[in-house]
Amino acid sequence: MVAQSITPGDRVGVYMNNCVQYIVLALGIWKAGAVLVPFKIAIPRAPLRHAVEDSGVRIVFTDTAGIGRFSGDCDGLDVARRVVHLPRTEVPSAGERPAARWS
């Protein structure tokens, strides 16, 4: 959050499906004293543009699934130049995790 110059009271948009990164991002936004503004990834173009404009977000975080659509749907808005792409990190399933070993 600090690297993106987010300060207390800023409105920060999140445009992604539910995932681990969403939770970590939400905690970081709140820890910075900013306001989380969630945007549903399935919302049509016109309502999305209206919500982005009306919310007053300074910056929007999105993942690989949403970057192209958000940038296209919000082209021309000031915030479209302040989109941060967060590549999704896959979390291994329970069967793929190594067993804990005690020494």
Q: Distances from the Cα of 53 to the Cαs of 3, 78, 103, in angstroms?
A: 24, 9, 56
Domain boundary assignment for the chain: 46-58+69-88
Could you tell me the pLDDT band of residue 99, with boundaries at 50, 70 and 90? low
- pLDDT at 5 (0 to 100): 82
Best CA proximity match to 88, nearest among 18, 5, 12: 18
Instruction: Extract the runs of DSSP E, i.e. beta strands, from the chain.
Output: 11-15, 35-39, 59-62, 83-85
Mean pLDDT of 75-83: 93
